[in-house]
Amino acid sequence: MLSTTSRLLTYLTALLYTALGAFLFFIPEQLAPVFAWKVTAFMTMTIGGWCLGNAWLAFFTARRWEWHRVYSALIYLWVFGAGELIVLYAFRDKLVLVHPIAWLYFITLIANVVAALVGVSDVLRIRPARESSRSRTNSLQYTGLAAFVVFVGFLGYYGCTAQIGAPGTNGGIFPEIMSLFTLRSFGVFYFSLAVGAVPLLWDRNLRPYLNYGLLAYGLIFFITVAAFVYIRLFDFAAKPGGFAYFGAYLAVGIVFLFNFRKYGAG
């Protein structure tokens, strides 16, 4: 497995995401006006959901700490941290590092990227092997995984490249109009999820598939809770794309619940 330093940095990342996510998720109305850039309370709570989900993922990744089980989660976490830091740099003219919560967001991403650099260095140096197992993903699981990569990967690509005014950016799916800064941040999140799942398409081992589902489950849970808290913002009759926002998270969450019940959690 990777080094102890990498593991400790992953625990540190989990701790920072826990603190950041708790503030953003539970008091979004108060923190939205003083966040690192212009966001609404719903956006703030959703970002808090990412952070709490990342905390869950990072903590249990560090606790399990076997490369063949958690490599997809680590890839997601590393790509997420690097991608979000790149977004901050790209929009540095709109970045407002005044309030402590803004600095905590920035410091957390820095810690995430340091963990990623050390982790990637370990992978190149140690070259950990993937596990060989008779337990393989079945055709239904593989098809669902492929659909997830394509759909979420498209959302990530679109969020990272679309301009304001393009289809879906004016409240068509997410119920509020996003700035380009926020759109890019959301795009990186989805792109990272898809990238983390890609290696599972050629590694048909069931255990890392189940592990990725479990370790990413915090993201599904907290983001869905945030959507229900602000469900009043959705106008499903006028903008039915909102169903896709809810449906995607609920569908993936329900599918993995059935998998966990039948096969365990990896």
What residue type is 18 in one-letter code? T
Mean pLDDT of 96-113: 98
**pLDDT at position 216, please?**
95
For residue 80, what are the domain limits? 4-263
Q: Which two tokens stand for residue 104?
A: 């905590």
Q: What is the pLDDT of residues 66-83, one digit of tens each?
A: 999 999 999 999 999 999
d(CA 154, CA 90): 21
pLDDT band, very low/low/confident/very high, at 170 (cuts 50, 70, 90): confident
Q: Which two tokens stand for residue 215?
A: 């370790």
pLDDT at 164 over 90: no
Mean pLDDT of 161-167: 88
Mean pLDDT of 174-203: 95
Mean pLDDT of 31-57: 98
d(CA 138, CA 117): 34
- Tell me the percentage of the chain whose pLDDT exceeds 70: 99
pLDDT at 125 over 70: yes
CB contact at 8 A, 125 and 117: no
Mean pLDDT of 128-153: 88
Q: What is the pLDDT of residues 219-237, one digit of tens each?
A: 999 999 999 999 999 998 8
Query: What total number of domains does the chain contain?
Result: 1
Mean pLDDT of 89-117: 98
Q: Which two tokens stand for residue 210?
A: 């189940």
As a dihedral over the C-alpha atoms of residue 224, residue 50, residue 221, residue 248, rounded to 10 degrees, the angle is 50
Burial class from Cβ neighbours inside 10 Å (0-12, 13-18, 19+) for residue 51 reads buried
Placement of tokens 């920035």 in the chain? 106
Output the pTM of the full model.
0.95
Bigger pLDDT: 248 or 4? Answer: 4
What are the two backbone dihedrals, phi and then psi, of residue 78, each rounded to the nearest 5 degrees? Answer: -65, -45
d(CA 172, CA 236): 10
Placement of tokens 């260095």 in the chain? 121
Q: Which two tokens stand for residue 111?
A: 């810690």
Mean pLDDT of 159-182: 89
**pLDDT at position 133, please?**
66
**pLDDT at position 82, please?**
98
As a whole number, the mean pLDDT across the chain is 94
**pLDDT at position 96, please?**
97
pLDDT at 137 over 80: yes
Mean pLDDT of 21-45: 98
Taking 3-state DSSP, the helix, strand and coil percentages for the chain, each rounded to the nearest 5, stand at 75, 0, 25
Task: Tell me the CA end-to-end span of the chain in Å, nearest whole number.
Answer: 17
Contacts of 20 (CB under 8 A, 6+ apart): 48, 51, 101, 104, 105, 108
pLDDT band, very low/low/confident/very high, at 251 (cuts 50, 70, 90): confident
pLDDT at 128 over 70: yes
CA distances from 203 to 53, 86, 125, 137, 241 (A): 24, 29, 21, 9, 33
Closest CA to 119 of 75, 185, 153: 75
CB contact at 8 A, 226 and 45: yes
